[in-house]
Amino acid sequence: MRPIVTLLLVPFVLHSGCSTAQRMSDGDMATVAGEVDSVKGQGYGIEVVILSRGRGVPEKTLETYRRIRALASEEARRDPAITQREQIVGLEGERRLCISAPDPVTGSELYARIQALSADLDLMRISADGCRAD
């Protein structure tokens, strides 16, 4: 009796939309793409974190951090929509700099410039995934 009930329920389950693989129409895909674009339109966040190894932040790392902070300040003077927020995160000079740009193009250009300044630098982490809300 059990196999008969299963065979009777399969068409109902497939018809009711409970199947796992469903094809999206072009209209649905455009809607999803529009939602992704609207999220991207909310801005672009860059996080720069400097760390230490028990003896404070190395001078070269600290100097590069200051240059990045100056670069962000200069860009914020040109475009007031660019903001920056600094936070002390440790006892030995560790810091976090959060930079927000108004759009992905401006943000990615700024991110590339920051990466160029910090190439091959120890104890600095740069992320374009935005800043944590601490």
Q: Is the dihedral of CA 70, 108, 84, 81 positive or negative?
A: positive
pTM to 2 decimal places = 0.67
Query: Is 23 a member of any domain?
Result: no
What local confidence, expressed as pLDDT, does residue 43 receive?
A: 80
Query: Is 15 a member of any domain?
Result: no
| Span between the terminal Cα atoms of the chain, in Å | 59
pLDDT tens figures, 56-67: 999 999 999 999
Q: Please state, for a pLDDT cut of 90, what percent of the chain lies above it.
A: 58
Partnered with residue 46 across adjacent β-strands are: 99
- Bigger pLDDT: 9 or 60? 60
Query: Is 112 a member of any domain?
Result: yes
pLDDT at 131 over 70: yes
Domain of 101, in residue numbers: 43-127
17 pLDDT band (50/70/90 cuts)? very low
Q: Give DSSP secondary structure letters for the chain.
A: -HHHHHHHHHHHHHHTT--S--PPPHHHHHHHHHHHHHHHTT-EEEEEEE--SSS-S-HHHHHHHHHHHHHHHHHHHH-TT-EEEEEE-SSSS-EEEEEEESSHHHHHHHHHHHHHHTTT-TTEEEESS-----
130 pLDDT band (50/70/90 cuts)? confident
Instruction: Answer yes or no: are the C-beta atoms of 64 and 57 closer than 8 Å.
Output: no
pLDDT at 35 over 80: no
Query: Is 24 a member of any domain?
Result: no
Q: What letter represents residue 43's amino acid? A: G
**Total number of domains in the chain:** 1
Query: Is 132 a member of any domain?
Result: no
How many Å apart are CA 92 and CA 59, to the nearest integer? 12
For residue 71, the domain's CATH number is 3.30.70.600
Query: Is 101 a member of any domain?
Result: yes
Query: Is 62 a member of any domain?
Result: yes
What local confidence, expressed as pLDDT, does residue 120 receive?
A: 85
pLDDT at 85 over 70: yes
pLDDT at 103 over 50: yes
Query: Is 21 a member of any domain?
Result: no
